[in-house]
Amino acid sequence: MRKVGILGGTFNPPHLGHLIMANEALHAMDLDEVRFMPNFIAPHKEVSGADAGQRLEMTRLAISGSAQFQVEDFEIKHGGVSYTFDTMARMIEKEPGTEFYFIIGGDMVDGLGSWYRIDELIKMVRFIGIKRPGYESSPELPVAMIDSPEIHLSSSMLRNRLAKNQTVAFLVPEKVEAYIRKEQLYGSKRNASESEESTSRKTL
């Protein structure tokens, strides 16, 4: 049976922490692939700064070149509020020969009991918890906890930096940063080299 990890989130924007989480889960649990699944509307999180299509494109750019990473656009295409139970029920129906593993950060593990229809969900998928610095999780539900290199990085921190036009180099993949600057997402501006190139073209 094919073993597929699902890493859901807003990916607003996707960053190296997401890639590390996916890679650690891939190898620790011997998965065949990990799919990055952007939410359309997250149940417990307000999404601003980039629309669903932009977040999907940034996710594609973030994983480009990684053969075992794929983009799952199921929730974006489906629309509406993205509840994990509804999504996974449909995906299992669509792919009955696949064993799904749902990847979450260690800071989310203790709150797992409040998820929508969690008693049914834990019978449908296996949960993988990625240990996070500063969080000591004591899962009451079956979660496979795995170690990961510590990195203090969040999408909100990156959005704040971009709004101030500060560097995000080595924190997001280069292609993602280039896209953000080009689209001027999160209040960011084009970088100096792009601006100079644009100006030189206008004077030719």
* pLDDT value of residue 127: 97
Contact at 8 Å (CB) between 161 and 189? no
Count other Cβ atoms within 10 Å, centred on residue 155. Answer: 23
Q: What is the pLDDT of residues 49-89, one digit of tens each?
A: 899 999 999 999 999 989 999 999 999 998 888 899 999 99
Query: 106-110, 117-121, 185-189: which has the minimum mean pLDDT?
Result: 106-110
The domain 2-151 having CATH identifier 3.40.50.300: the answer here is no
Give domain limits for the chain: 2-151
Residue 139 has pLDDT above 60, yes or no: yes
Residue 139: asked if its preceding bond is cis (omega within 30°), the reply is no
Q: What is the pLDDT of residues 5-32, one digit of tens each?
A: 999 999 999 999 999 999 999 999 999 9
Q: φ, ψ for residue 139 (rounded to 5)?
A: -65, 130
- Per-state percent for the chain, helix, strand, coil, to nearest 5: 45, 20, 40
* Among 175, 109, 144, 136, CA closest to 3: 144
pLDDT-derived band at 136, boundaries 50, 70, 90 = low
Task: Quote the pTM value.
Answer: 0.88
Largest CA distance in the chain: 66
Both tokens assigned to 49: 């700064």
Q: Determine which helix (DSSP H) or strand (DSSP E) holds 130, and give its type and residue range.
A: strand 126-130
Considering only residues 117 and 137, tell me which one the structure prediction assigns the higher pLDDT: 117
Bridge-based pairing of strands 2-9 and 143-146 is unpaired
Q: What is the overall mean pLDDT for the chain?
A: 88
Q: Average pLDDT in the 102-115 region? A: 90
The burial of 109, by beta-carbon neighbours within 10 Å (0-12 exposed, 13-18 middle, 19 or more buried), is given as buried
Q: Distances from the Cα of 132 to the Cαs of 43, 116, 146, in angstroms? A: 22, 23, 10
pLDDT-derived band at 194, boundaries 50, 70, 90 = very low
* pLDDT value of residue 48: 76
Q: What is the pLDDT of residues 150-168, one digit of tens each?
A: 778 899 999 999 999 999 9
